Structure 1
Amino acid sequence: MTSLLSTLSLAGIPPEDEALRAPVRDFLHSELRDYPPHLRARSIGAHDAAFTRALGAQGWIGMNLPEDVGGAGRSHFARFVLTEELLSFGAPVVAHWTADRQTAQLIARYGTPAQRARYIPGIRAGEIVFGIGLSEPDTGSDLASVRTRAVPTATGWRINGRKIWTTNGHRASHMCALVRTSGTAEDRHKGLSQLIFDMKTPGISTRPILNIVGEEEFCEVLFEDVDVPADALIGEEGDGWKQVTAELAFERSGCERIYSSVVLADIWLDEMRALENPPQIVVDMAGRIAGRLSVLRAMSLGVCACLDAGQNPELEASLVKDLGTEFEQEVPNWIAEANASIPGFRPSRELALALAYVTQYAPVFSIRGGSRHIMRGMIARGLGLR
């Protein structure tokens, strides 16, 4: 525990990054002024290509990439402020989410100059939308059991296999996939590489998967003799696992693992403020939400400071992700409990729709980016407990 506490310390947002908050709010109120509250509660799963392009036009996608690779050279704190505002407002974020948070960082760190020139401008403009090919059928959360294989050809690589639970893979223009380029599944982390390719490449097909709330958010992606060029390889052959673990620290550490239920909480609080004499359970639940959110936000900012210092806070990010998604899942339960305790209370249509959606969707929170059991195993190893 000493190691964790020594690296995850309190951190504040620098003034130059905090200054980003006001223009982002102005942009959101202008761009999404007619967006109803119950749709804003779906932010974390909402895909809107036009909104993503508008966000890109502001220079707010990939802005914390170094300037020498095509970024704006802003800090991770700047991205934190942007993300916090997007999720607090309930903006549709999915179209740029993966590329901004993970794939652009991967390309900036491991890509060749030609790869950076090819992808980063399109990512920053909101024109290139990435899906991540990690999970596979019949392997659960065991990410290392990759069976999708890429074999070398005279011109590059030929891919065969399947990926599953790819968020918006059927809407993505490109994919970054973890594939086996040598050895077998029993070799675990060895022999894995990452390839980036166009989703229109012949031999790729997608099968959307209907989620519990009736949306086609995920899909299965099939590869049948898919030929990609040699420069589809990102980084060194066989270094895929090292690259993926670095990427997942970006995915697991931000406020996107804390704020998935925050719009619902705001809708509920607005209605509770309208009550003449709210019962004590309402006050208690509001305090519980605020207290937990405050601590988790401070932890997420601590991870942000680690990333800004060039560290790889895998353990710390896993802890924030586990605690954050637990909080996200509890919020709709707390609100439902409070509502049931208010005599004669009838929620508005907006609150009822938002609560129903988040309650059904909440099981996803602790699965995406690594299941709760995987996170806790990583935390235990990082703390020397296993």
Structure 2
Amino acid sequence: MQTFHAKPVPWPDTAGELRARVRALVSEHFAQQGDAADPAKRANSWAHPDPAFSRKLGEAGLIGMVWPKEYGGHERSSLERYVVLEELLALGAPVGAHWIADRQTGGMILRYGSEEAKRQWVPGMARGELFACIGLSEPGAGSDLASVRTTARRKGDRWVIDGQKVWTTNAHFAHLMIALVRSEEGSERNAGLSQFVISMDAPGVTVKPIIDLTGGHDFNEVWFDNVELPETALAGTEGQGWAQATAELSLERSGPERYLSSTALLIELIRAVGPDASDEVKALVGRLTAEMWTLRQMSASVAARLAEGDDPALEATMVKDLGNTYEQAMPGLVQAAVELDLAGGDPLARVLGYLLQVSPSFSLRGGTREILKGIIARGLGLR
């Protein structure tokens, strides 16, 4: 039976300098924006877009850190990038605009895309100027990714895309989408699928918002009506889209964002209760801190293995499942431990009220808990 494969993480010597740079940059941005006093804006920060801040990170060389310099990257190590990411999330920086492009889309294009696509998209991503979304989920399919019905058919030397995607994060301001579509007529499940790079301003692409219960607009529906693409829009090998897309999920599921979405709440809890907290609250703080540290070690271990060229898909799925369980449970645990008027304006009440509303979605993005547990069970030989 395979279990979680972990080993000591070789943190880079540059970690201290990188953390100091990120802290200075974020502090300056918050001071300019006047957002530093609002902890609700620091919770779940990787879902909060701020294009101006993304451009600042791009100028500082903190996007596309591991990409080749030829395409605007900086050829830093994966663990240096990890240090920057966890610092940004711990500080609550508004990184949502470029997050998907930096986490997986840029790397996917560099690995599978045509030379034309690499030069068209990747340098702008590294500058924090071009943003991406991912076209996976479809209506009526739930979390069954293999139930793709959006089609790609050949028309001379071009491809024509028809269909619909749903729950597409950031499609309303993204410049491009990596879409998984059915390119082989009559194929079923995970056979006959391909990935395409689709410009969001292409004729026939329509985006409509899905507004959540907080009034937030992260999700969207996207329609493709006879969208014509050049041959170079095909990413990778025709028919290999399933293998390509599932390989990317290790990047999507294992990062520090999978356990740091509620960090602002833990910080505000510690500030609010101070050293004279009750034994119950002290125990809760200790428990939450210990769990966070364990998840950090697991997540960083996956990052180190990815840097070595391994494919820790099972471990990445475990991190996502355990991390989502942790960050989703935290608001309810804090609410039960501390008497608090959620209508009040103090920082702890603001961040708690916000997370009580949005945290149910944490176990949906990147794969539902039920799907993840099935993947883990197969990986452990339990089914």
TM-score by length of 1: 0.94
SS at match of 1:167: coil
Q: 2:167 aligns with which of 156, 162, 165?
A: 165
Letter paired with 1:212: L
Q: What corresponds to 2:311 in structure 1?
A: 312
Deviation at 1:269, TM superposition (A): 1.1
Q: Deviations over 1:205-258 (max 9, x none)?
A: 111001121111100001111111111111111111111111110010110101
Aligned-residue offset at 1:383: 1.1
Q: Quote the sequence identity (%).
A: 44
Question: Which residue is equivalent to 1:331?
Answer: 330
Matched, 1:251 2:248: no
Among candidates 37, 40, 58, match of residue 39 of structure 2: 37
Corresponding residue for 1:180? 182
* Structure 1 residue 114: Cα displacement: 2.5
Report matched runs for 1:25-64 at 5 Å: 25-33=23-31, 34-35=34-35, 36-64=38-66
Matched letter for residue 346 of structure 2: R
Secondary structure, counterpart of 2:3 in structure 1 = helix
Report what 1:14 is aligned to: 12
Tell me what 1:291 maps to.
Answer: 290
Residue number in structure 2 paired with 1:131: 133
**C-alpha distance in 2 between matches for 1:135 and 1:239:** 18
Deviation string 1:12-54 (CA, Å, 9 cap, x unpaired) is 4121244311111111111122212221124132111111111
Partners of 2:342 and 2:349 within 8 A in 1: no
2:372 is matched with which residue: 372, 375, 385?
375
How many Å separate the matches in 2 of 1:183 and 1:345?
A: 54
TM-superposed CA distance for 1:350, in Å, is 2.1
Which is worse superposed, 193-202 or 18-27? 18-27
- What secondary structure sits across from 1:94 in the alignment? coil
CA deviation after TM superposition for structure 1 residue 353, in Å: 1.7
8 Å Cα contact 2:342/2:353 also seen in 1 = no
Partner of 1:95: 97
Aligned ranges 1:335-346 → 2 under 5 Å: 335-340=334-339
SS of the residue corresponding to residue 32 of structure 1 reads: helix
AA at the equivalent of 1:377: G
Contact 1:131 1:172 in 2 (8 A): yes
Bigger Cα displacement from structure 2, 76-85 vs 145-154: 76-85
- Distance in 1 between residues matched to 2:11 and 2:239, nearest whole Å: 37
**Maintained 8 Å contact 1:165/1:218:** yes
Quote the residue 1:355 is aligned against. Answer: 352
| Structure 2 counterpart of 1:182, one-letter code | E
Question: CA 1:316–1:42 in structure 2 vs 1: closer, same or farther (change >3 Å)?
Answer: closer
Map 1:71-150 → 2, pairs under 5 A: 71-150=73-152
1:170-208 Cα offsets, whole Å, 9 max, x none, are 1111111111100446x2111111111211111111110
> Superposition pairs for residues 179-258 of structure 1, below 5 Å?
179-184=181-186, 187-258=188-259
Counterpart CA distance in 2 for 1:380 and 1:123 is 36
Work out whether residues 55 and 126 of structure 1, in 8 Å CA contact, stay in contact via their aligned partners in 2: yes
* Counterpart amino acid of residue 374 in structure 1: I
Change in CA separation of 1:347 and 1:290 when aligned onto 2, cut-off 3 Å: farther
In structure 2, do the counterparts of structure 1 residues 184 and 281 end up closer, same or farther at CA, with 3 Å as the change threshold? farther
CA deviations 1:290-349 (Å, max 9, x no partner) are 010010000011101111101111101000000000000111111111113x8x999652
Number of residue pairs aligned between Structure 1 and Structure 2: 379
Provide the C-alpha distance between the structure 2 equivalents of 1:12 and 1:285, rounded to a whole number of angstroms: 30
Inter-partner Cα distance in structure 2 for 1:184 and 1:94: 37
